[in-house]
Amino acid sequence: MLPLVSKAEGRKRKTEVRANLKNAWLESQASSAHKNPMTLKAFVHKAEEGGYWAEVRALPGCLTQGETLAESKANLHEAIGL
């Protein structure tokens, strides 16, 4: 049989359990994000003024540019990481 506790103590314990479950879930999500990287499709375009510009349409505002394809790719990896 469970020991009797006041309503206030019961609510406090319930809140603590919820917080612990939420923290455990957040930790599991953070650790699984590194194990299962997301695949994103990038679009690279030749710029009229020379060089290239690239975008990831799944990430609004994720745009970058570079003088070469390699530079554009490196800049895109950095932009995705922000």
Q: Model-level pTM?
A: 0.53
Cα separation, 3 vs 58, in Å, equals 53
Asked if 65 and 47 touch (Cβ cutoff 8 Å), the reply is: yes
pLDDT tens, residue by residue, 2-51? 566 677 776 767 677 666 666 666 676 665 555 557 788 999 999 999 99
Domain boundaries, position 48: 43-81
Count of domains forming the chain: 2
Are 48 and 70 in the same domain? yes
Asked if 59 and 40 touch (Cβ cutoff 8 Å), the reply is: yes
